[in-house]
Amino acid sequence: METALEFFNEQLIMIYLLIFTIILGFEVISKVPTVLHTPLMSGANAVSGVVIIGAILLVRQAEPTDYVQLSLGTFGVILGMVNVIGGFTVTDRMLEMFKKKKK
Amino acid sequence: MLIDTYINLSYLVGAVAFVWGLRLLSSPDTARKGNILAGIGMGIAIVATLVAPLTGADNNYLWIFGGFVIGGFAGWIAAKKIQMTAMPQMVSVFNGLGGACATVLAMAELIKYYDGMMQMSLGQLSIVLVTLLIGAVSFTGSMLAFGKLDGFIKDKHVILPGHTIVNLVLLIAVLVLAVILIVQGQTAGIVMAVIFLVLALIYGFSFVAPIGGADMPVVISLLNSFTGLSAAAAGLIYGNQIMLVGGILVGAAGTILTVLMCEAMNRSLMNVIIGGFGSAGASSSATDGDQVAKVATITDASIQMFYANSVMFVPGYGLAVAQAQKVLKELDDLLENNGVDVKYAIHPVAGRMPGHMNVLLAEADVPYPKLLDLDDANAALKDTDTVVIVGANDVVNPAALDDPGSPIYGMPVLEVWNAKNVIVLKRSMSPGYAGIQNPLFFHDKNRMLFGDAKDSIQQLVQEVKDM
């Protein structure tokens, strides 16, 4: 219990951010028309590639001779980058089609 | 110190871009801008992370840029080459990679921790384990979903007898091991951590295994939400705000879609996860054994459409499989030119991911106002002359309304039998993916047009042209 409280105090700002973002997320996205379900999912998917930031930090902080950390970090960068670039590109391709037919 | 302020400011801008981008993404007129805005936010965040000063860090930029090139190239090629019909698979793969990335990060932390290179508080250790667990489940779950959607893994290959119990045991084992790891701290050792990883990976696979067919949209949305949560958890490891914000937003988007999909099927999430359609009682309503479905020829079908005042197409997963969306649009144009009013009825869970049919029809340039959602379609069906069902099955099953023994009883469906005539385009009489017999096929108003959807529609186009 002691440690839990300590942790709560240490991470107070992050916990605030966590809770407010949850509320914000539901408010902002709540009304999605069917036509946008797939693009929203795939766009959100691309945003989840934000985890790449952790991978970049990992590689930057690794010792140049620590090949385990370097390889893991770089692997993480690759995975995250596929997710980011692939996700935003494919979403844009879909949305382009939606736009085209409006003309 | 000043540079730190700029970095933090950049993260703030990036986070706002995510929020605003997703907001724009949920409205048709602004969706494309929203996606681009979120992408810019991501770019800002990545650049800020690259240039942020880290005391005593060796940077290793070569490794990072190597990763950028490989990952960026692979992602770009995949996104450009993929067929629109294969979109659910693609989304699953990308989603799984995000989860894998979070898992890798958590594993790297654990290696450092058990090597004695760093210390962690209990809270930090718990967060690392949560990141690992959610990321791993999302990874193997998404990969299995990809395999199922692509068709190279069949449900029967991965469902064990008593699968619910297997899953429950696995879940308990994973959670117990997590508690042991937390209690033992550094003395647990890396081997225990690896066992935890392996169990988590197996659980992800096993968790998706019994879910199939019509339930795919639910599970894909759910996995999407998991990946977001794993990214958010990883954000807590690094104390990085933008990872937290981005991850939570994705978690919210995924959760909203999951709830929408469950509502569209009138089932609870628990029900979807525990009882796949296939195992729920496939035989319970196969009572139509003696009945004979009436068959239509291409000519019959084309006459029924050509001389109708109104035609409604009901697309389903079969449309995607046959890649028939463009030729369907051609038929639509021909009919419209002859004064037939053509509409499309889109069931929220038609296809294998949320909004699947909308994407396909958009690719074929079908105008948005021609697509009716469930309620509008049901209202319009009463005044429709001919309904043509292209590769849909469960979403037009009357058993959902009147057969309490049916596994899909209670699910809102398109009431196509209210129209004057129904034509079902189907390859054979075999029940759909869900393994549920469809009494619609034996309905008085219905005629079956057997054959591959694309071939059939092509022949219909030809017939209508010759009229």
Q: Are B59 and A67 in contact (CB under 8 A)?
A: no
Q: Are B380 and B343 in contact (CB under 8 A)?
A: yes
DSSP string for B136-164: HHHHHHHHHHHHHHHTSS-HHHHPPTTHH
* Dihedral of alpha carbons B284, B377, B375, A94, sign: positive
A91 vs B35: CB contact, 8 Å cut-off? yes
Q: Considering only CA atoms, which of B127, B35, B372, B313 is closest in space to residue A45?
A: B35
Active-site residue among B155, B394, B402, B444?
B394
Based on the domain organization, do B368 and B315 belong to the same domain? yes
Q: Which residue of A has its CA nearest to B110?
A: A69
Domain assignment present for B430: yes
Q: Using the 3D structure, point to which of B76, B95, B122 is the last residue of a domain.
A: B76
Q: Which domain holds residue B60?
A: 1-76
Q: Which residue of B has its CA nearest to A7?
A: B123
Q: How many domains does chain B divide into? A: 3
**Interface with chain B: mutation pick from A22, A53, A67, A88, highest number of B CBs within 10 Å:** A53
Based on the domain organization, do B276 and B354 belong to the same domain? no
pLDDT class for B290, splitting at 50, 70, 90?
Answer: low
Q: Which residue of A has its CA nearest to B67?
A: A78
Based on the domain organization, do A85 and A97 belong to the same domain? yes
Q: Considering only CA atoms, which of A101, A74, A56 is closest in space to residue B54?
A: A56
C-alpha dihedral (B89, B92, B93, B95), degrees to nearest 10: 160
Domain assignment present for B288: no
Based on the domain organization, do A21 and A44 belong to the same domain? no
Domain assignment present for B101: yes
pLDDT given for residue B171 in this prediction: 92
Q: What is the pLDDT of residues A51-72, one digit of tens each?
A: 999 999 999 999 999 999 999 9
Q: Residues 246-265, chain B: which have Cβ within 8 Å of A?
A: 246-257, 260
Based on the domain organization, do B13 and B34 belong to the same domain? yes
**Interface with chain B: mutation pick from A7, A24, A31, A51, highest number of B CBs within 10 Å:** A51
Based on the domain organization, do B159 and B44 belong to the same domain? no
B87 vs A38: CB contact, 8 Å cut-off? yes
Partners of B246 on chain A (C-beta within 8 Å) are 47-48, 50
**Which range is least confidently modeled, A53-57, B51-55, B196-200, B212-216?**
B212-216
Q: Residues 332-371, chain B: which have Cβ within 8 Å of A?
A: 346, 348, 353-356, 358-359, 362-363, 365-368, 371
Q: Residues 83-112, chain B: which have Cβ within 8 Å of A?
A: 84, 87, 90-91, 94-95, 97-98, 100-102, 104-105, 107-108, 111-112
Partners of A100 on chain B (C-beta within 8 Å) are 365
Q: How many domains does chain A divide into? A: 2
Based on the domain organization, do B409 and B381 belong to the same domain? yes
Domain assignment present for B287: no
Q: Which residue of B has its CA nearest to A37?
A: B355
Type of residue at B114: Y
Q: Using the 3D structure, point to which of B22, B53, B76 is the last residue of a domain.
A: B76
Q: What is the pLDDT of residues B161-188, one digit of tens each?
A: 878 888 899 999 999 999 999 999 888 8
pLDDT given for residue B277 in this prediction: 47
Based on the domain organization, do A55 and A88 belong to the same domain? yes
Q: Which residue of B has its CA nearest to A86?
A: B75
Mean pLDDT for B324-352 is: 92
Based on the domain organization, do B351 and B238 belong to the same domain? no
Domain assignment present for B154: yes
Domain assignment present for B291: no
Mean pLDDT for B92-97 is: 94
B288 exposed, middle or buried (CB, 10 Å; 0-12, 13-18, 19+)?
Answer: middle
Q: Which domain holds residue A10?
A: 1-31
Q: Considering only CA atoms, which of B170, B250, B248 is closest in space to residue B204?
A: B170
CA distance B108 to B103: 9
Based on the domain organization, do A54 and A67 belong to the same domain? yes
Partners of A63 on chain B (C-beta within 8 Å) are 58
Look up residue B177 and give its two tokens.
């091991």
Q: What is the pLDDT of residues B451-465, one digit of tens each?
A: 888 999 999 999 888
Q: What is the pLDDT of residues B366-383, one digit of tens each?
A: 988 899 989 899 999 999
Domain assignment present for B441: yes
Partners of A65 on chain B (C-beta within 8 Å) are none
> What b-and-e string marks burial along B343-361, b requiring 16 or more CB atoms within 10 Å of the CB?
bbbbbbbbbbbbbbbbbbb
Report the side by side order of strands in the sheet with B341-345.
B371-372, B341-345, B310-315, B386-390, B421-426, B446-450
**Interface with chain B: mutation pick from A22, A50, A92, A101, highest number of B CBs within 10 Å:** A50
Based on the domain organization, do A11 and A61 belong to the same domain? no
Mean pLDDT for A80-95 is: 94
Based on the domain organization, do A61 and A77 belong to the same domain? yes
Based on the domain organization, do A1 and A15 belong to the same domain? yes
CA distance B169 to B265: 28
Q: Are B213 and A29 in contact (CB under 8 A)?
A: no
Based on the domain organization, do B72 and B90 belong to the same domain? no
Q: Considering only CA atoms, which of B26, B259, B227, B9 is closest in space to residue B134?
A: B227
Based on the domain organization, do B356 and B405 belong to the same domain? yes
Domain assignment present for B286: no
Based on the domain organization, do B327 and B303 belong to the same domain? yes
Based on the domain organization, do B350 and B232 belong to the same domain? no
Name the residue with higher pLDDT: B225 or A3. B225
Based on the domain organization, do B139 and B172 belong to the same domain? yes
Mean pLDDT for B241-245 is: 94
Based on the domain organization, do A50 and A96 belong to the same domain? yes
Based on the domain organization, do A63 and A83 belong to the same domain? yes
CATH assignment of the domain containing B434:
3.40.50.1220
Based on the domain organization, do B311 and B456 belong to the same domain? yes
Based on the domain organization, do A3 and A19 belong to the same domain? yes
Mean pLDDT for B353-358 is: 88
Q: Using the 3D structure, point to which of B76, B106, B126 is the last residue of a domain.
A: B76
Based on the domain organization, do A62 and A84 belong to the same domain? yes
How close A2 comes to chain B (CA, Å)? 11
**Which range is least confidently modeled, B124-138, B209-223, B327-341?**
B209-223
Based on the domain organization, do A23 and A55 belong to the same domain? no
How close A17 comes to chain B (CA, Å)? 7
User: What value of ipTM does the predicted structure carry?
Assistant: 0.92
Residues 6+ apart with CB under 8 A from B70: A78, A81
* pTM for the model: 0.87
pLDDT given for residue B430 in this prediction: 66
Portion of chain B with pLDDT greater than 70, in percent: 95
